[in-house]
Amino acid sequence: MPALDLFFSAAWFTRLWVVQEVYGHACVVFYDRHEIPWNGILLVANLLVEVSATERLTGLHTMNFYAPSHIEGAGQDPRALLETFRNFKCSDPRDKVYALLAFPFFSGLRPPIQPDYSKSVVTVFTETSIRVFICCQDLSLLSSIDHEHEIDEKWPSWVPRWDRSRTIQILHMYASGRAQSSLPRIEYESESLTSEGVCISTVSWCGMVVEGGLENPAYYESEFDTLRLPFGEWLSKYLSETTQSIDEILDSLAMTLTVGLDNESKCPPRDFSQFRADFVAYLVEILPSLDLLIPTQRLSQVLRERGLAGDPKRFYTAAIRGCGNKRLFSTQNGEFGVCPRAAQPGDIVVLLYGSNAPCLLRPKGSCYQYVGECYLHHQMHGEAIAMAAKGLLDIKKFELR
């Protein structure tokens, strides 16, 4: 294993231009005095990926062995393509686009994207985003947007920053706004993007940012639990306003904290009874008294017995991956969910036609800033579109800047 660790620690595996060198080619890699077929490296890398999914790889400290699998697995989806290679390194940020032009989606564009280093980074990213939106006729690329605590006013808020590492779980597994009956009519002018959507509600409260995220989702020691305080703050608000049964409460809480994903990022959770048991075990561990959740001692005891079959660390891993670097929030119509860290009370919850999930938009004069996508437990499967079709919600145009 140390030899593999040394081999995959080579910076070559993280260079973005390597992607074009090896993708679709029967090439040979030179390492010291050795000649190694690329297919051989891919075979070993895939084996390491498979093993790492079920057990810890002792002696292997680098994660670069994922790179060959990412390269060979890249497909036609431009959003996934740009996301896959977002963390690969290049000296010029514009190469986050230009280094991928040999892949089928980009090579098939007419007219093609031509590398032009006289253009600014923001211009290259904006033009690429527009080409993807219009060619794909959906807005799933918006899932790639990961604003920091503040929205950068120098950039269009709806253009992904592929020059920065993504720190949040994106909601690409959903298709809330991509029903066949809701294909977007996308309009573009100057730096504004306009599409139709449905306004669901307005943000009334935002909690503290949940520290953590994709970099360290599996780390867990109860005294360093970064979810406990934000969750407790949210729980005190949620329970005072809900009329759900105990099982409905458990399911809503667990699914919201994990944005609907289990520990293996399956949506919905592969084994829901185990998923719920893991959540109950986590509750038992972090709550000083379950009386906050369950008012009677008998039900509290039943809940503790359920938790015996669960693993709190497994739930914590899924939850930090799901809501890390995000906030818990509530809306004026009484819904709760997970929203971007840049969110503020007064942002509106909108489902844009052609998007993966509901999002938050910030009114700015007659236009809006795109704050980011959000998770609302009862709005992840096109419910707003169905309500609009019945005339219960109004469809309007939103101009994003």
Residue 328 to residues 174, 226, 344, Cα–Cα distance (Å):
19, 13, 11
- Would residue 65 count as lying in a domain? yes
Query: CA separation (Å) from 349 to 300, 303, 346, 372?
Result: 35, 34, 9, 10
The last residue of a domain, from among 10, 41, 73: 73
- Does residue 181 or residue 17 have the better pLDDT? 17
Query: How far is 80 from 397, CA to CA, in rounded Å?
Result: 27
What is the structure's pLDDT at 36? 93
Q: Of 57, 73, 89, which one is at a domain's C-terminal end?
A: 73
Instruction: Return the H-helix or E-strand segment holding 199.
Output: strand 192-209
Q: Which domain holds residue 310?
A: 211-324
Residues 206-254 have pLDDT tens digits of: 999 998 866 555 445 666 788 988 998 888 777 766 667 778 888 999 9
> How does DSSP classify residue 56?
-
pLDDT digits (tens, 9 = 90+) for 242-253: 667 778 888 999
4 within domain boundaries? yes
Residue 262 domain-assigned (yes or no): yes
For residue 401, the number of C-alpha atoms closer than 13 Å in the C-beta half-sphere is 10
Q: Is the pLDDT of residue 299 over 60?
A: no
Q: How far apart are CA 385 and CA 321, in angstroms?
A: 28
pLDDT on residue 178: 73
Residue 259 CA to residue 377 CA, distance in Å, equals 8
Number of domains in the chain: 2
CA 378/CA 279 separation, integer angstroms: 19
In-domain check, residue 391? no
| Among 73, 93, 125, residue at a domain's last position | 73
In 3D, which of 366, 330, 334, 370 has the Cα closest to residue 350?
Answer: 370
Query: What are the two backbone dihedrals, phi and then psi, of residue 159, each rounded to the nearest 5 degrees?
Result: -100, 125
**Mean pLDDT value of segment 8-30:** 88
**Closest Cα partner for 22 from 70, 77, 93?**
70
- In what helix (H) or strand (E) does residue 275 lie, and over which residues does it extend? helix 272-286
User: What's the CA gap between 237 and 240, in Å, rounded?
Assistant: 6
Q: Is 198 among the domain residues?
A: no
Q: What pLDDT, in 10s, does the model give residues 52-86? A: 766 666 667 677 888 888 887 777 788 888 998 99
316 band by pLDDT with thresholds 50, 70 and 90: very high
Quick one: pLDDT at residue 130?
A: 94
The overall longest dimension of the chain from CA atoms, in Å, is: 72
Amino acid sitting at position 45: A
- The H-or-E segment that residue 316 falls in is helix 312-323
The length of the chain is 401
Q: Answer whether residue 18 is part of any domain.
A: yes
Q: Is residue 312 part of a domain?
A: yes
Phi-psi region of 391 (alpha: psi -120 to 50; beta: other; left: phi over 0): left
Identify the DSSP state of 144. Answer: G
pLDDT at 250: 86
Judge whether 22 lies within some domain.
yes
pTM (2 d.p.): 0.90
